[in-house]
Amino acid sequence: MENNDIIKVARAKAEKWLDKAYDEETRVEVQRLLNNTDTTELVESFYNDLEFGTGGLRGIMGVGTNRMNIYTVGAATQGFSNYINQMFPNEKKAVCIGHDCRHNSHLFSETAANIFSANGIHVYLFEDLRPTPEMSYAIRELGCKGGVILTASHNPKEYNGYKAYWDDGSQLVPPHDKNVINEVKKVQVTDIKFKGVPEMITILGKDFDKKYLDKVKTLSLSPEAIQKEHDLKIVFTPLHGTTYELVPESLRNWGFTNIHTVPEQSIPDGDFPTVASANPEEPAAFKMALDLARKIDADLTMACDPDGDRIGIAVKDDKEEWTLLNGNQTNIVFTEYIIRRKKELGLLKGGEYTVKTIVTTELIKDIAEKNNIICYDVYTGFKWIADVIRKEGGEKFIGGGEESFGFMPGAFTRDKDGVSATSLMAEIAAWVKMQNKTIYTFLKEIYAKYGFSQERMIYIVRKGITGAEEIKSMMKEFRHNTPKSINHSDVVLKKDYLTLEATDLRTGEKKHLDFETTSDVLQFFLADGSKISVRPSGTEPKIKFYFEARTQMKDVNDYERAQKEANDRIDDIIKDLKIQ
């Protein structure tokens, strides 16, 4: 489409927003965009529509069809209300709504509450910002049919988002995700019932926090270790987000008495003024926390992202220097600890299971299976972990996680849970300290016991239409001309999640992959134990490569050698695939 045509389309859509159905402030801002001789902002705001995807909405805040505002949030909520009313026609219906620290999150949560209530659905609305996992717990605890959290997780400050949940406290999965999308698409601005019914809205406050934190405490497996090491020095940063009160409260509830929060980052602020990115996956986000940790000689440093679902961990290595664990390592530590303690306490009765995503380390599966625990593989995203719990029940759930810094140690939430994870990690630190060890040495012991695993993710950015085509042809090439060997090691197994087919390349035997839906992901398993996963990003112009290299360790002193060997192998694989 020519540039003039794009401007024409954007202008026509913007002019509809001058209608009296929109508030005056919005109309004034739209008129400003229409009057501006530079049409860039007009086009960016109106040319596309912000799509309600399978996870909900996410976008830059502002006026327009391609922006987060009360009208795009309103349409999403009206469509979701319509679907809930269709699904549960003769029942009492309730939803739960929470929000994070971002600009407009409070406004959007109240907007959503008013719309649900106007559609005859009772609303439990948190009085102020709360972490995502607490909202997920509330859906289950209060018997809601669904829920919404207003958050853009760790996206830049200009963004906000709207995540939709179903009655089990999980984000929407098939068929509900597509069905809600269809309802949202039908909504016109005049259909949105903005005028709330106050008596249909119940405010949740501190009393509910206590209920949630007491539930979190039921995950404790070593209270005697906390009693002995209660003064373990813990540094925590909420990165200006929703866990500024709840994580320290949870740690105290578990029995810890020496908790230090980063004061400058314990102030909720949607501008995230002290960090370039409020994401615990980014080492820079830990700077202030580690400065404090060095100053007080802490034992453990932890961070949560702004909506409190992700957890980042920093521990001291053998040289007393602080090192950040990656998401796979955090998952490994959690999995081994939970299984070991439950075994020691006689809590494993058989049939227990853990869940990981397909791009998360295979070492989790090894740990599980060597302890007679089932390990399920799912797509990226905690809604798929929740889907397994829905089918298998929460009784036997050991824990579930993914490499992007998320872990869920209990089935009472159905999304990654930074509050539970920080509390449990502090307990692990106390438990290892009681044995005169550190989390770092515990991790090395796990590697020595089950085998070493090194993971790495890289991505290639290809912008524009030509970039999208290039990414498509790269996937096509890998799919149809699968290499027979990579870095002198035979490709023994190929998993294609688009066809849901696993092919043994030695025998040609094909097996069906038991997944709910298809996904454009390819995986190659090599004879030397390496795993390569390839997937185009669904939201950005990039293709992601996940690498895992395996080797054995003689003992804990063999860690550096094993790490170097595995990293060198990943370097060689990347070179052989010619992707950097």
Residues annotated as catalytic are 153
- Own/partner contacts of 569-576, CB < 8 Å, gap of 24 or more, are 569/487, 569/528, 569/530, 570/454, 570/456, 570/530, 572/487, 573/486, 573/487, 573/530, 573/532, 573/547, 573/549, 574/458, 574/545, 574/547, 575/487, 576/486, 576/487
HEC readout, 431-472: HHHHCCCCHHHHHHHHHHHHCEEEEEEEEEECCHHHHHHHHH
- 262: Cα separation from own chain's centroid: 23
Radius of gyration of the chain from its Cα atoms, rounded to whole angstroms: 25
Q: Which residue has the tokens 């040319």?
A: 47
CA atoms of 532 and 563, how far apart (whole Å): 18
In one-letter notation, the amino acid at residue 340 is R
| Residue that the structure tokens 């089950």 belong to | 450
Read off φ and ψ for residue 77, nearest 5 degrees. -70, -40
No. of H helices and E strands in the chain? 18, 23
**Cross-strand bridge partners of residue 313:** 302
Q: What whole-number distance in Å separates Cα of residue 486 and Cα of residue 579?
A: 13
Rounded Cα distance between 266 and 259, Å, is 13
Q: Are 338 and 409 in contact (CB under 8 A)?
A: yes
Helix (H, G, I), strand (E, B) or coil at 531: strand
Residue whose structure tokens are 């027979």: 484
What's the CA gap between 308 and 418, in Å, rounded? 5
Q: How many Å apart are CA 362 and CA 403, to the nearest integer? A: 11
Phi and psi, residue 500, nearest 5° = 55, 50
Burial class (CB in 10 A: 0-12, 13-18, 19+), 374: middle
Report how far residue 265's alpha carbon sits from residue 446's, in angstroms, rounded to the nearest whole number.
33
The pair phi, psi for residue 494, each rounded to 5°, is: -125, 130
The three-point CA angle 345-347-349 to 5° equals 140
d(CA 215, CA 423): 12
C-alpha to C-alpha distance for 473 and 231, rounded to whole angstroms: 56
DSSP 8-state code for residue 171: B
Look up residue 325 and give its DSSP letter.
P
Beta bridge partners of 452: 551
- Helical H segments across 233-350, by residue range: 246-254, 287-296, 327-344
Token couple for 180: 């809600």
Answer yes or no: are the C-beta atoms of 565 and 453 closer than 8 Å. no
